[in-house]
Amino acid sequence: MVVHNVLEPDFEGWVEETPLGDLAGDVGEVAFPALLALILLSWIKCIPYITGRYPYPFWRFFHRFTGLFSAMVVIHQLLVDKPLTGSAALSIYLNATPVVGISCYLFTEFVEKRWRRGAHRVISLEQKGGAIEGPYRRFNFRKFDFRKFFGRKEKQHQVWVARGIGTTPFLAWVQSLSEHETVRIYLFYSALNAEEALGLEVLEKAKARLHGFSFDVVFSQSEGRVDADRLTASAPST
């Protein structure tokens, strides 16, 4: 897109200009900088010497506009005046590919969430202090109130439980924590053995860097399976 925008082809005299073609050009002028801004928002943390961080829901909120601006690019592609006819093989490829992509986006954004939403029922619940919460299809340990400009509302004491490869998102969470966190987090990680355990070096570095983070690792092959009593005994008291 960058090359296309910098070296904009001039087909004047080659094609018959139409009002839809003019509209497509205007749509492309809006979509191109918007997509660049979204890409920059994703890449900015990878730029050297950029230490500031923004909350994940902030990024995710704007990232969802990617589909909208991509759809505008598709409109630009379909309606812009071009020298190829609708029957040309290249034209068919260029038109069909983005339509399929946008169709997948619409399905994921508006259909899949409702189609795959499952019904869950709590059979029994015994309250012993604290609260058990799940991500509910939003795997993010932070809570934000958009009415208060993304003000954080996460619980001040959290216990994370991970098993095997399931620790992957927790490793990403740990790496996103800063030294100024007020939340206290305890990770209880179970793996088959030391060879199967993932990211232990990441957890050790986080434990040394963050005063509010701690973790324990249990190898079920030699130490047995984990049960609720063991987890309760291991978790630090609040």
Please choose, from the candidates 85, 76, 95, 86, the residue with its C-alpha nearest in 3D space to the C-alpha of residue 31: 76
**Confidence at residue 204, expressed as pLDDT on a 0 to 100 scale:** 93
Which DSSP symbol is given to 215?
E
- The domain segmentation of the chain, as residue ranges, is 2-115, 155-234
Q: Indicate the class that CATH gives domain 155-234.
A: alpha beta
Residues 6+ away with beta carbon under 8 Å from 184? 156, 157, 158, 212, 213, 236, 238
Angle at Cα 201 formed by Cα 237 and Cα 57, nearest 5°?
Answer: 70
Please choose, from the candidates 56, 69, 64, the residue with its C-alpha nearest in 3D space to the C-alpha of residue 28: 69
pLDDT tens for 81-109 read 666 655 677 777 877 888 888 888 888 87
Higher pLDDT, residue 101 or 140: 101
Beta strands in 107-170 (DSSP E): 144-145, 151-152, 157-163
**pLDDT band for position 214 (50/70/90)?**
very high
CB neighbours (10 Å) of residue 97? 12
pLDDT tens for 10-46 read 666 666 666 777 788 888 888 888 998 988 888 877 7
Please choose, from the candidates 235, 220, 227, the residue with its C-alpha nearest in 3D space to the C-alpha of residue 188: 235
Are the C-beta atoms of 164 and 190 separated by less than 8 Å? Answer: yes
